[in-house]
Amino acid sequence: MPNDLKAAIAKAVALLTQAQVSSPQVDAELLLAHVVGVERTQLTTIADLTDDQAIDFENLIARRANRVPLQHLTGVAYFRHLELAVGPGVFVPRPETELLVDAAINHLKNLDSPRIAVDLCSGSGAIALSLALEVPGTTVHAVEISDDAFNWLTHNVVDHAEKLEAVDSHVVLHHGNAGDRTLLSELSGQVDAVVSNPPYIPSEMIPRDPEARDHDPAIALFSGVDGLDVAREVVLVAADLLKIGGFVGMEHADVQGESMPALFNEMPDIWSKVKDNLDYNKLPRFTTAIRATNAGVGR
């Protein structure tokens, strides 16, 4: 018995709307496209679903209604020009981070090749791969401590190997602690840009969205009482690695628009042009600064 596609979508949208999913129509269409094996824009060419497709679609919609992240159901997250493999154990990249990447790319593009960048707390590799692929002739060192996330990172870098080779860029993987000032010590004073989307949620603050609260790994979310424990370490690592005039950019929570820049402003001999930047929703989202002098940072 044929299963009408439009009716299936309408039913799915109603269920997702009831579950307070923020984009019910888009999510329903993306999940159906995933089941059928076509692009979302090609759904209009299909009238009916097979029985197996209808069952698979209903099961995926039920899981999405339970607020399992869309990207965990499809196995794919889209970020800028990338299609990344994601799943349990790795933070799903968010659109807001694209603006941080924009700022780093704008800095790197003004420099001569070869360029060196570092992505601390790399997760799926969204930042590292974006920098490497969008700025030809760039080597990006990607650091990730979580075993699960490092596996996803490795998977995505391998998936993009041919594209990296085509633009003469490289992503070098480091399975370690982003706050370890010895991990990349051989790059001290040689790096053009350090970018980081670290864990930044205060330990007592529960994320609003069930997708993040129940499915993103805690190691990628929480960072001490004020959410800045990892950020404090990243500021020091960036100071060690960057050459004079080097760029640093770090994402933060919307309530940290003053406290994150303060970490840089506490080191006026090291950082200049400290600036906080807004996201798509005009909320404070990431801090940028420039390595000002050759002064060392005490250990």
| pLDDT tier at 295, thresholds 50, 70, 90 | low
> Using one digit for the tens of pLDDT, what is the confidence trace for 216-269?
665 555 556 677 888 999 999 999 999 999 999 999 988 888 999 999 999 999
Predicted confidence (pLDDT) at residue 1 exceeds the cutoff of 50: no
| Long-range contact pairs involving 43-46 (C-beta distance under 8 Å, separation at least 24) | 43/5, 43/9, 46/5
What is 3-66's CATH topology? Helicase, Ruva Protein; domain 3 (1.10.8)
**Residue among 96, 39, 7 nearest 277 (CA):** 96
More confident residue, 139 or 22: 139
Predicted confidence (pLDDT) at residue 189 exceeds the cutoff of 80: yes
Mean pLDDT of 202-211: 64
Q: What are phi and psi of 205, to 5 degrees?
A: -95, 125
Predicted confidence (pLDDT) at residue 3 exceeds the cutoff of 50: yes
Predicted confidence (pLDDT) at residue 140 exceeds the cutoff of 60: yes
Predicted confidence (pLDDT) at residue 204 exceeds the cutoff of 80: no
What are the angstrom distances between the C-alpha of 262 and each of 213, 246, 275? Answer: 28, 19, 10
pLDDT of amino acid 221: 58
Q: Where do you find CATH 1.10.8.10 in the chain? A: 3-66
In this prediction the pTM is 0.86
Tokens read off for 55: 């069952």
Q: Which CATH class is domain 87-291?
A: alpha beta
Handedness of CA 72, 73, 79, 85 (dihedral sign): positive
pLDDT of amino acid 61: 92
Percent helix, strand and coil across the chain, each to the nearest 5? 40, 20, 35
| pLDDT tier at 79, thresholds 50, 70, 90 | very high
**Residue among 193, 83, 86, 175 nearest 129 (CA):** 83
Beta-carbon neighbour count of residue 41 at 10 Å?
9
**Amino acid, res. 206:** I
Q: Where do you find CATH 3.40.50.150 in the chain? A: 87-291
Predicted confidence (pLDDT) at residue 68 exceeds the cutoff of 90: no
Handedness of CA 127, 128, 131, 132 (dihedral sign): negative
**3 state SS of 249:** strand
Predicted confidence (pLDDT) at residue 176 exceeds the cutoff of 70: yes
For the chain, the average pLDDT equals 89
Q: CA-to-CA distance for 229 and 226, rounded, in angstroms?
A: 7
Mean pLDDT of 59-72: 88
